[in-house]
Amino acid sequence: GIEYQKHYYPGVRQALVQKVQAAMSDYRYQHVLRVEAMALQLAEIWGVDLEMASVAALVHDYTKERSDDEFKAMIATAHLDADLLNWGNNIWHGVVGAEFIARELNITDETILTAVRQHTTGAPEMTPLSQVLYMADYVEMGRDFPGVDEVRNLAHTNLAASVGWQARHTLAYLVGQKARIYPLSLLTYNVWSTK
Ligand code: GDP
Ligand code: FE
Ligand code: FE
Ligand code: FE
């Protein structure tokens, strides 16, 4: 792995890797390592700091296996919007997950925390790091869905267009499932789908 020198995490990469591995199943841990590899590829192309990309990727699903009760308690503790209580793990592990990551892993960089907050839904305004994490999560080498090769290639050639591709396809998928759409997912689609 890359050597941490800029202190986005107060320790060596291997120490962060161990904490992440301990927080989840092996299945999800392998996904996280593949997201890191893809995030580093994309970061190099798009001029994003490699250490930031590594840290953001390693922690992005840190809380995905926590109980609903833990998320509800953190929504209160961190004084987050009470509307979050109307949603579930898919939305919480990014938005609320960032609060656990800040407190338990001592990651303070707001660009990294915001990229984690935005990794599931995207957002109307996304930094290059946020775009890289959102895309790396979607096109890591273990992902397999119709069009994955096309959108993986697009992430390497036109990052903004690939964000739009994901927002459009995820929205269509969720509608097909009769799933509820988190408003931010719609805003992401409106802003990015035509870039
Ligand atoms: P993962 O954590 O690596 O599995 O990936 P993500 O964090 O990107 O997504 C987690 C889940 O949230 C996926 O199944 C998405 O389809 C789902 N998701 C994304 N946006 C929304 C939304 O607006 N509403 C709902 N109900 N689910 C969503
Ligand atoms: Fe996730
Ligand atoms: Fe994602
Ligand atoms: Fe993920």
What domains, with CATH codes, occur in the chain?
Answer: 13-192 (1.10.3210.10)
pLDDT tens column, 66-112: 999 999 999 999 999 999 999 999 999 999 999 999 999 999 999 99
Please tell me the total number of residues recorded for the chain in this structure: 195
CB 122 within 8 A of CB 174: no
Question: Does residue 34 have its Cβ closer than 6 Å to ligand 1?
Answer: no
pLDDT band of 1, cuts 50, 70, 90: confident
Task: Tell me which of 89, 120, 181 to substitute to probe ligand 1's pocket, judged by most ligand atoms within 8 Å of the beta carbon.
Answer: 120
The letter for the amino acid at 121 is T
Is the distance from the beta carbon of residue 140 to the nearest atom of ligand 1 less than 6 Å? no
pTM to 2 decimal places: 0.98
d(CA 52, CA 56): 6
Residue 102 and residue 166 in contact, taking contact as beta carbons nearer than 8 Å: no
Using DSSP's 3-state secondary structure scheme, residue 79 falls into: coil
| Euclidean distance between CA atoms 52 and 176, whole angstroms | 35
Q: At 166, which helix (H) or strand (E)?
A: helix 159-176
Confidence check: pLDDT of 131 > 90: yes
3-state secondary structure of 148: helix
Tell me the pLDDT band of 7, cut-offs 50, 70 and 90: confident
Close Cβ partners of 21 (under 8 Å, ≥ 6 residues apart): 29
CA-to-CA distance for 46 and 104, rounded, in angstroms? Answer: 30
CA geometry: angle at 1 spanning 49 and 153, to 5°?
A: 60
Does the C-beta of 137 come closer than 6 Å to ligand 1?
Answer: yes
Burial call 140-177: b when 16+ CB within 10 Å, e when fewer: beeeeeeeeeebbebbeeebbebbbbbbebbbeeeeee
For the CA of 121, the closest atom of ligand 1 is 20
pLDDT at 175: 97
User: Would the CB of 174 count as within 6 Å of ligand 1?
Assistant: yes
Predicted pLDDT at 6: 82
How far does the centroid of ligand 2 lie from the alpha carbon of residue 109, in Å? Answer: 19
99 close to 80: Cβ distance less than 8 angstroms: yes
